[in-house]
Structure 1
Amino acid sequence: MGSNLLASLNDLGLGFVGYLVPFLFVLTIVVFFHELGHYLIAKWNGIRVLTFSIGFGPEIVGFDDRSGTRWKLAAIPLGGYVKFYGDENAASVPDQDALSGLSEAERRQTFPGQSVAARAAVVVAGPLANFVLAIVIFAGIFMFHGKQTTTPRVDSIQAGSAAEAAGFAVGDIVRAIDGRRIDSFSEMQRIVSGAAGQTLRVEVDRGGALLTLPVVPTLREVKDNFGNVHRMGVLGISRSMAPGDVKTESVGPLAAVGMGAAETWFIVERTLGYIGGIVVGRESADQLGGPIRIAQVSGQVATVGFVALLHLAAVLSVSIGLLNLFPVPLLDGGHLMFYAIEAVRGRPLSERAQEVGFRIGFALVIMLMIFATFNDILHLASS
């Protein structure tokens, strides 16, 4: 195992630029729009913004705009932040000493000086911007490249597979799964891949007659085109590639936006389902990845083309937006949790309680990063 790990790390070093540039491109887009959401709603509410930073640590390059905001690119490209007037640090922890010395007019320019609703709007705008970015990217891809669909027709069945046990037949066309309409083979794959070990009721069209077949997808390790191993549910059937079964449809702007929203919701739904599966022990947490995995995947996807890299940016944008909504202090969702408590109580939690919450949140985030990085190292060692 040790020699494999060293070889993988050497390969990563040799392809450092090939991984680093796509990684920075993807992460910068996602972080910029997340922070832009915070920034725009803050400005709309009259909050003075001191710093808009992509990355942490020492500044590499930056400039001051006419309103006094410092826009900068920092040395550690693993996130970003917007610092408001009256904040003690990048996590928007209020500087109580500074706030106590401000006039009423100056306090209205601070983040703590806003109403609960205004503060909540500023916080939720970051994740919301991530979702909007994803929808726009997906919509653009659909508009310019169309939507390729393959009729969900069974072309062959593997011996001993879940499909064979359930009674599938060559020529069957899948119409619905658990009451959800299926229009393409890829739609069926998406549902099946996340349902290993679960009973699905699949409605098929067999020569004009509709049949319902209960089937339990088998959990299997599948390698993608880059050699990465993914565990997913499979039925053991292949699609038909006959000319009449493969179509590319043009997509108009409104339809593209709707499809982009549907694609974004699918990622949210799948992510929550995966996390829920970890909680109940149905899924393994070793699929969680961190910066190393993102860099590796970014480099691999970049070899396919720019559109594929944009698609990855959209997927990552949804993931970061969703992650930030989790009710963990330090994340946006943690701030929203505090504001909800404040709205119910009629007053904020004590400074001590918030400080303890932020420390717990910081510890949880650090532990998640360590765990994800550990998974990344194991992934490199086994590849």
Structure 2
Amino acid sequence: MNLIYTILIFILTISIIVTFHEFGHYIAARLCGVKVLEFSVGFGKRLFGKKVGGDKTDYKICILPLGGYVKMLDEREGKVEDFEKDRSFNNQSLLKRSIIVFSGPLFNFILAVFFYFLIFVSGYSGFQPSVGLLINNSVGENIGIQEGDIIHSVNSRNVKTWSDATLQTIKFASEKKNINLEVLRNNVVIKLKEVEHEKINFESKNIFENLGILNFASNSVTIGHIEEGSAAEIYGLLVADKILAINGVSVRNWIEIVNFIKESPGIKLSLYILRNGNNLTINVIPEKLINSGFEAGRLGIGPLIDNDLISKNTIKVQYGFFDCIKLSVYKTYDFTLLTFNFIFRLIKGEASSNSISGPVGIASYASDSFSSGYTSFLSLLAMLSISIGILNLLPIPMLDGGHLMYYLIEFVMRRPIPDKVQLMFQQLGMSFLILLSIFALYNDLLRIM
């Protein structure tokens, strides 16, 4: 049943994003006077549909609901009557063809703005950006942050939640800009020392934790969260394990556990734990993290946090109507910039390709976010829409960006690229996309295994 649910949510997710992408091509084609023959949701055999309007455009739904397409009148794909040649895509000006091709990705960004607007206008919950725990001798301690401080802004961009602060920190650091935090302390805004952008570990899911800054101060010694692929997972720790002692020394709260792990990078630790009423010892070796000379151990575990602590630190964020519009555009811009920066870092070998997800990973994320509530699902839809928009803008033959590359060459050379050359590039582009899909699926399978 869970598999069916996951597949259905995946189909819903892809259908929404891809259909709107194709709708962008469709609207632009109509506005540019190009005849649209088909607007299809899905591929393969036609299930049902209807031909509408003077052009008898076939609006249809097909059997494979994993995408869609817009088919336009084009002399390269079939015979066109003389009286309709001026409505054929291939006979349009370079500008009109470029607008039609670019409108698909453009509508992905518009869709992301819309999803973010829905989140902002309805209000969303998040953890207050307060410092619950500060690790000794950490980057956080060196810049002057204190327990109880509330992060007010990152590089002059005000933040409302912990995730907002995290996103802005990643964004500015990815632009190779140092981080300037302002905190609210006793109702006074205080500017902290600068954090060099090299100290931000992009491969980590907990940016601030690596700086020694934690959101919650928990007295629990029970594991509530284990990061996928972390040292904790590799050595067999499980959620609900209760850590009683490390190397024979009793631990009374999470702070002591964190300090033990942080001070033991690459060093074996013996964890004495209670699991399902049974005592056992598990040996682990914390991952060694090095950021600009700072070395620390990390297992990738988080404490079990009680509901009262969660409620105490959760805030509801609401904005006015026009602020929602502005913030939706900013959020889309920020994530777009982050995605482009990730691609550039990936090309330069500065980012891990393990972050690339395929259909299995996307399906899993979609299912989890849908179960978590509309805010999480809308946020995922927005991020995926941006990602698909950016992917389609890459200068890869077969994608919209590849066609735009052809048009740029045509503009410079004053003549179109020969069809045979385009076909050769199309085949190369298809091969690259197949290899990329296989690699993404391989990453998905590694995560499952």
Q: Distance in 2 between matches of 1:45 and 1:211?
A: 53
Question: In the alignment, which residue of structure 1 is the partner of 2:324?
Answer: 256
> Is residue 2:352 matched to residue 1:365?
no
Question: In the alignment, which residue of structure 2 is the partner of 1:169?
Answer: 146
The AA in structure 1 aligned to 2:106 is L
Residue 98 of structure 1: which of 79, 99, 109 is its match? 79
Question: In the alignment, which residue of structure 1 is the partner of 2:336?
Answer: 268
Deviation digits for residues 21-43 of structure 1, max 9, x if unmatched? 11111111111111111111111
Q: How does 1:268-307 map to 2 (within 5 A)?
A: 268-307=336-375
> For 1:262, what is the secondary structure of its paired residue?
helix
> Is residue 2:170 matched to residue 1:189?
no
> Is residue 2:128 matched to residue 1:155?
no
More helix by share: 1
Question: In the alignment, which residue of structure 2 is the partner of 1:336?
Answer: 404
> For 2:346, what is the secondary structure of its paired residue?
helix
> For 2:372, what is the secondary structure of its paired residue?
coil
Q: Distance in 1 between matches of 2:99 and 2:312?
A: 49
Q: Distance in 2 between matches of 1:362 and 1:166?
A: 50
Question: In the alignment, which residue of structure 1 is the partner of 2:74?
Answer: 86
Q: Distance in 1 between matches of 2:137 and 2:354?
A: 28
Deviation digits for residues 147-178 of structure 1, max 9, x if unmatched? 55665432321346432354432234444445
For structure 2, the 5+ residue unaligned runs are 217-308
Q: Distance in 2 between matches of 1:212 and 1:250?
A: 27
Distance 1:239 1:231, change over 3 A: closer
Q: Distance in 1 between matches of 2:208 and 2:190?
A: 24
- Tell me if structure 2 keeps the 8 A contact 1:62–1:73: yes
Report deviation, 1:124.
0.9
Report deviation, 1:204.
4.5
Question: In the alignment, which residue of structure 2 is the partner of 1:75?
Answer: 63
Q: Distance in 2 between matches of 1:280 and 1:140?
A: 36
Report deviation, 1:243.
9.5
Question: In the alignment, which residue of structure 1 is the partner of 2:193?
Answer: 213
Deviation digits for residues 175-198 of structure 1, max 9, x if unmatched? 444555545433221234565999
Question: In the alignment, which residue of structure 1 is the partner of 2:392?
Answer: 324
Distance 1:286 1:233, change over 3 A: farther
> For 2:338, what is the secondary structure of its paired residue?
helix
The AA in structure 2 aligned to 1:58 is K
The AA in structure 2 aligned to 1:323 is L
Report deviation, 1:134.
1.3
RMSD: 3.0
The AA in structure 1 aligned to 2:58 is R
Report deviation, 1:318.
1.2
Distance 1:158 1:231, change over 3 A: closer
TM-score of the two chains, using structure 2 as the length reference: 0.70
> For 1:57, what is the secondary structure of its paired residue?
strand
Residue 238 of structure 1: which of 180, 198, 214 is its match? 214
Q: Distance in 1 between matches of 2:153 and 2:320?
A: 26
The AA in structure 1 aligned to 2:93 is S
Q: Distance in 1 between matches of 2:2 and 2:325?
A: 36
Deviation digits for residues 257-310 of structure 1, max 9, x if unmatched? 111111211221121122222122221111101111111111222222244323
Question: In the alignment, which residue of structure 2 is the partner of 1:9?
Answer: none
> For 1:189, what is the secondary structure of its paired residue?
helix
The AA in structure 1 aligned to 2:193 is L
Q: Distance in 2 between matches of 1:135 and 1:329?
A: 27
Distance 1:356 1:291, change over 3 A: same
Distance 1:137 1:18, change over 3 A: same
Q: Distance in 1 between matches of 2:57 and 2:191?
A: 64
TM-score of the two chains, using structure 1 as the length reference: 0.81
Aligned residues: 350
> For 1:78, what is the secondary structure of its paired residue?
strand
> For 2:20, what is the secondary structure of its paired residue?
helix
Residue 65 of structure 1: which of 52, 55, 61 is its match? 52
Deviation digits for residues 333-368 of structure 1, max 9, x if unmatched? 111111122122222111122112211211111111
Which is higher, the Rg of structure 1 or of structure 2?
A: 2
Q: Distance in 1 between matches of 2:351 and 2:213?
A: 23
Q: Distance in 1 between matches of 2:170 and 2:121?
A: 27
Report deviation, 1:246.
5.9
Question: In the alignment, which residue of structure 1 is the partner of 2:241?
Answer: none
- Tell me if structure 2 keeps the 8 A contact 1:220–1:233: no
Question: In the alignment, which residue of structure 1 is the partner of 2:23?
Answer: 36
Range with bigger deviation, 196-205 or 306-315: 196-205
Percentage identity across paired residues of the two chains: 31
Range with bigger deviation, 57-66 or 46-55: 57-66
- Tell me if structure 2 keeps the 8 A contact 1:26–1:310: no
- Tell me if structure 1 keeps the 8 A contact 2:144–2:192: no
> Is residue 2:109 matched to residue 1:131?
yes
Question: In the alignment, which residue of structure 2 is the partner of 1:8?
Answer: none
Question: In the alignment, which residue of structure 1 is the partner of 2:5?
Answer: 18
Report deviation, 1:377.
1.1
Q: Distance in 2 between matches of 1:347 and 1:165?
A: 60
- Tell me if structure 2 keeps the 8 A contact 1:22–1:309: no
Q: Distance in 1 between matches of 2:56 and 2:178?
A: 59
Report deviation, 1:215.
3.6
Q: Distance in 2 between matches of 1:261 and 1:344?
A: 33
The AA in structure 1 aligned to 2:69 is Y
Q: Distance in 2 between matches of 1:220 and 1:138?
A: 24
> For 1:171, what is the secondary structure of its paired residue?
coil
